[in-house]
Structure 1
Amino acid sequence: KPIRFWLIFGSLMAVTCLTAVDMTIISTTLPTIVEELPASNISGSWVTSSFLLTTTAFQPFMGGLSDVVGRRIAIVIAVLLFMGGSALAAKAETMLILVIGRGVQGVGGGGIQTIAEIVLSDLTTLRERGIFVGLVSLIFAVSTFIAPVLGGFFSEHNWRLVFWINLPIGVVALALIIPTMKLKTPTMPFWAKIHRMDIGANLILLASVVAILVALTEGGITHPWSSWRIWVPFTTGWLGMILFFAIEFIPNRFSPDPVLPKRLFANRTAATCFLMTFVHGLLTYGLIYLLPIYFQSVKSASPLHSAVQIFPATAPGPFSAILAGILMANSGKYRMQIWIWWSITLAGCGLLCLLDSNTPTYQWVLFQLVPGFGVGALFTLTLPPIQASLPVEELAHATATFAFCRSFGSVWGIALGTNVFISVVNTKLSQIQGLAEFGLNGTTALGFTTNLQKLPEQFQLPAQNAFMSAIRTSIYVFCPAAFIGLLISFFIDELPLPDFNES
């Protein structure tokens, strides 16, 4: 590869580091943030959900934008949005402003993820792409297991540094991107550019995702699931999603150049991989947000120590991703690998169900290692089959749809995991007489994970048992998802991975 390739690839690694740090650094810091900010009607889970919401909703738009203005301008816009949202979150004095800042970050983060994957696909062949995706995954994984440690450290000193740290990383990323990423921008008429961004349909998508996430985040916590305040936004959101896909799939004047065209899903392998990517995102992010809660509440770990203790879940990922990429590059095949890694992931989810308050160190290390290897390899293996099954002209749309499915899965994973946890822990805690006067209930549980030892002694063990029961129930939810991922992987065709690039 020429030097220019490696300079561009280095810039992709820099922006990957930027988003990876922010996606996981909050996992160990959230309890501290919830505790230190003034009390609010806005749940602390929105600190995470708002980021994932805008990340998901804007990824298809950002994919279209990269075709219109070019890869470099689009990714610079994304990085600047991310840095602006970081500054707003760092200065936040209320939960509302923090959630808004995280939402702005998510717009930029979604664009960074999507455009980086598009650029990587522009520059590599299908056969070798797995290796480079693995290398990017290495940076992603290194960032994701360093970030929680940084988050734990910052939460014990000044949690606002969690967001300020993004600014110098963003400056370095821009310094690499602007002079190197000089890729050709497709020429098209002005109205064709407007149509390519599919603004109207993307606004419907944004509103629909917001409504669904409001219902998932608040249901069973601030209002019962039977309340109209929950089922109205939930129903409206899904009706909006149906409208969005109808606009995208059925030819119409409103969306002449859809960002998620029906032809992407007409191919069985592509459609199966999109669904598999959704399940993979749901599993990966749902579990990674539950594990720090386990170590902080049940194992009495500080935020910093809990970050170290989830290393076994995050550290194996880059190694299995690179291994899977090398095997795919050498053999030109991927289907058997996908079956094997999904089986490992399913076994790992089963092992995590065995966690309890008395689990010794060697067991909780092993229980995390197994799914860590599985989900890491699947990061590499899901995109090449999608791109191999579709025309090269669909590269940007296909890659943006892939990123959208993964992020939409992460929205559901985190919302589902935390919602089940909060609902169960609320029920369990309400059964402990006298505990309510200390302010510990489902709504405040996330902010209490590091403070259970501060309760009177007679309440500590019952509260820990309540947390453990809720965590285990939340993990149970993800086992069927892993089985579905394995089951649908049998519908993928083994397609040739050419060693040339037409894009």
Structure 2
Amino acid sequence: MDHPESSAEIPLSTTRRESHPEPKIETETPSHSIDEALGAGTVEQDSKDGAPSKKLLAFKLAFIGLAAAVFVFQMDATSLGIALPTIAGELHGQSLESFWANMSYTLCGLVMQPLWASISNAFGRKPPLYVCIVFFTVGSIGFALAKNMSIIIVGRVLQGFGGGGIDVLAEIILADITTLQERSFYLGLMGIPISIGNILGPSVGALFSNYASWRWIGWVNLPFLGLAAPLIVFFLRLRPVQLDKSLAANLNRLDWIGMFLVVVGITIFVLPFSWAGSLYPWDSWRTLFPMFLGIVVLVVFAIYEKRPATPMMPHRLFHSKTANMTLAGAFIHGMILISILQYLPLFYQAVELETAIGSAVSLLPAVITSVLFAAISMMMVSVVGGYVWIIRFAWIILTLGTGLLALFDVGSSSSMRFGLPILWGAGVALLRLLLLPMQASVQNVDDTGLAIGQLLTVRMFGALVGLTVASTIFNSVFSATLSSIERPTGPLASLADAKNAVAFISELRKLDISPQVLDPVLKIYLKCFRTIFYTMAGLGSLGLITSLFTDDLDLSAKDLGQQQFEESS
């Protein structure tokens, strides 16, 4: 690996170092109203007197546009899971197709996030953001018009291409236009639509699949994109990057080999998860060989990144212990967040026999809690005097909250259905704080965008692995437990093939059979979900361990990135 740049090689205004024990945190206290909040932060201007200025109206409107775009991405990421049984039933989809309807969105977002971050460094933030919005819009329309599961998957692929870029570019732009000193507050504000979208997604999916049509999961994105796009186009005024005269020279600035290696490596690594335990056994060479090959390609990518002049993931970002531990925590956070968001609504429907809308209502207390904690988490940094102990506290309650989900049983009381997920919702919201140590660890402010892209990519990679792990657990436990009881017959005959387990969930509450026949099936579903909950709780304890090796870094820097907000058009 290359060595970190010395302070002599980096201008003083763009240099940050890891602090030692007892760091001084100088985060400004936020204003009380949102309008004041959006104008309360200050940026360093090149004015004669050096005085900071208030945020302009254009800044506020651009921020709202970014927030609306991110809200749509987060909502769409979690709205499909709860409607998937309905979609699979209507379009006659099997478990493998349902798996890829979910997986394609996350996989495509994952492989594109580091690419979009790299492209935005070379060509500026706004052009790739426009492309991402177009991808997401086309994918949403394709999903809404789909006549079979193949088109559903294609629509999700396009949404993943665009959504992954919207997610990472919004965070990078926010880092460009705010100083590290004020950023915790703006990240807190941005956390509100992110958390609302992330955890409200299942409710949206339930409402449409139950009272209208699941196709509205695609259509509902368009009004929000229609709000976000003009605000971003007309009011997001970023300082342009210096481009070469020829397109070829600009394209040569990109790390093409690195892009190829990371896309191929991630894809090859993930593919066998889709057929492990169903098409081929876990110990089959058809499963193990591509997984091993994917790991080899990713290792080659990591080694190669030392060579390019403008690498996607420069080695200098890994010289910080805090950054490395933060990345490990982000990976685990992604696993727990997405897997529980996808499978908890299915639990309510399969084990508690709730309707899709009923499962969404059961999640409302967790939604409200998550939104509140997302709003205050970043603002707590200035009160506590740092972020380390907040992150450790978040891991504790996330681990405990995830483990408590295993207390669910067939016929759980309404208080348990409403109350058990609350602690989990608070934990996942607080862990948005992981963005701060990652950004504070960079030595050069212009590396902040790459650092953000790296963290979001790792978190989404964790989400992808989490989905595959949860899906594998569900299918494997269902198949193994089903073989221990009498072969299902009559209305339950479809469950003789475990591939139909997810699609059949929407039919369980409609069956006209005795409790003596139905209860053993519900207990099979319960065992599947409990195993997922136990697994994710164990991962939460690993996340807590990573936080023990994280340090409080200095958050007082006031420097801005090269693509900062322009005060005048």
What TM-score do the two structures reach when normalised by structure 1? 0.94
Where does residue 394 of structure 2 map in the other structure? 341
Distance in 2 (alpha carbons) for counterparts of 1:427 and 1:313: 32
**Cα distance change of structure 1 residues 471 and 40 upon mapping to structure 2, 3 Å threshold:** closer
Task: Give 1:423 shift.
Answer: 1.1
Where does residue 436 of structure 2 map in the other structure? 384
After TM superposition, list the pairs within 5 Å mapping 1:239-318 onto structure 2.
239-248=296-305, 250-251=306-307, 255-318=308-371
**Cα distance change of structure 1 residues 314 and 433 upon mapping to structure 2, 3 Å threshold:** same
Distance in 1 (alpha carbons) for counterparts of 2:467 and 2:365: 20
2:177–2:560 Cα contact (<8 Å) kept: no
Distance in 1 (alpha carbons) for counterparts of 2:106 and 2:222: 20
Runs of 4+ in 1 over 6 A off after TM superposition: none
Where does residue 8 of structure 1 map in the other structure? 62
What RMSD, in angstroms, separates the aligned Cα atoms of the two structures?
1.8
**Cα distance change of structure 1 residues 280 and 195 upon mapping to structure 2, 3 Å threshold:** farther
Query: 2:446 matched to 1:393?
Result: yes
Task: Give 1:147 shift.
Answer: 2.9
Where does residue 181 of structure 1 map in the other structure? 236
| Residue of structure 2 aligned with 1:238, choices 278, 295, 298 | 295
Where does residue 226 of structure 1 map in the other structure? 283
Structure 1 segments unaligned to the other structure (5+ residues): none
| AA matched with 2:196 | V
1:299–1:357 Cα contact (<8 Å) kept: yes
1:32-90 C-alpha deviation (Å, 9 max, x unpaired): 11111134584311111000001000100101121222222221111101111112222
Structure 2 segments unaligned to the other structure (5+ residues): 1-54, 562-569
Query: 2:298 matched to 1:202?
Result: no
Percentage of identical aligned residues: 30
| Residue of structure 2 aligned with 1:166, choices 211, 221, 225 | 221
Distance in 2 (alpha carbons) for counterparts of 1:228 and 1:292: 34
Where does residue 501 of structure 1 map in the other structure? 559
Count of residues paired in the alignment: 498
Task: Give 1:330 shift.
Answer: 4.3
Task: Give 1:194 shift.
Answer: 2.6
**Cα distance change of structure 1 residues 482 and 400 upon mapping to structure 2, 3 Å threshold:** same
| Residue of structure 1 aligned with 2:550, choices 482, 487, 492 | 492
Distance in 2 (alpha carbons) for counterparts of 1:454 and 1:366: 26
| AA matched with 1:259 | M
2:397–2:424 Cα contact (<8 Å) kept: yes
**Cα distance change of structure 1 residues 39 and 317 upon mapping to structure 2, 3 Å threshold:** closer
Where does residue 138 of structure 1 map in the other structure? 192
What secondary structure, in the 3-state scheme, does the structure 2 residue paired with 1:446 have?
A: coil
| Residue of structure 2 aligned with 1:453, choices 494, 500, 509 | 509
1:268–1:492 Cα contact (<8 Å) kept: yes
1:332-387 C-alpha deviation (Å, 9 max, x unpaired): 511111111111111112211222214322223332111111110111x1111111
2:205–2:217 Cα contact (<8 Å) kept: yes
Where does residue 329 of structure 1 map in the other structure? 382
Where does residue 468 of structure 2 map in the other structure? 415
Distance in 2 (alpha carbons) for counterparts of 1:96 and 1:245: 34
- Higher Cα Rg, which structure: 2
**Cα distance change of structure 1 residues 194 and 459 upon mapping to structure 2, 3 Å threshold:** farther
1:239-271 C-alpha deviation (Å, 9 max, x unpaired): 2222221222x32xxx43211111111111111
**Cα distance change of structure 1 residues 499 and 352 upon mapping to structure 2, 3 Å threshold:** same
2:406–2:533 Cα contact (<8 Å) kept: yes
Distance in 1 (alpha carbons) for counterparts of 2:237 and 2:159: 25
**Cα distance change of structure 1 residues 494 and 194 upon mapping to structure 2, 3 Å threshold:** same
1:343–1:486 Cα contact (<8 Å) kept: yes
Higher normalized helix content (fraction of residues): 1
Where does residue 178 of structure 2 map in the other structure? 124
After TM superposition, list the pairs within 5 Å mapping 1:412-451 onto structure 2.
412-435=465-488, 438-440=493-495, 441-451=497-507
| AA matched with 1:134 | G
| AA matched with 1:356 | D
1:332–1:497 Cα contact (<8 Å) kept: no
Distance in 2 (alpha carbons) for counterparts of 1:477 and 1:147: 23
1:70–1:186 Cα contact (<8 Å) kept: yes
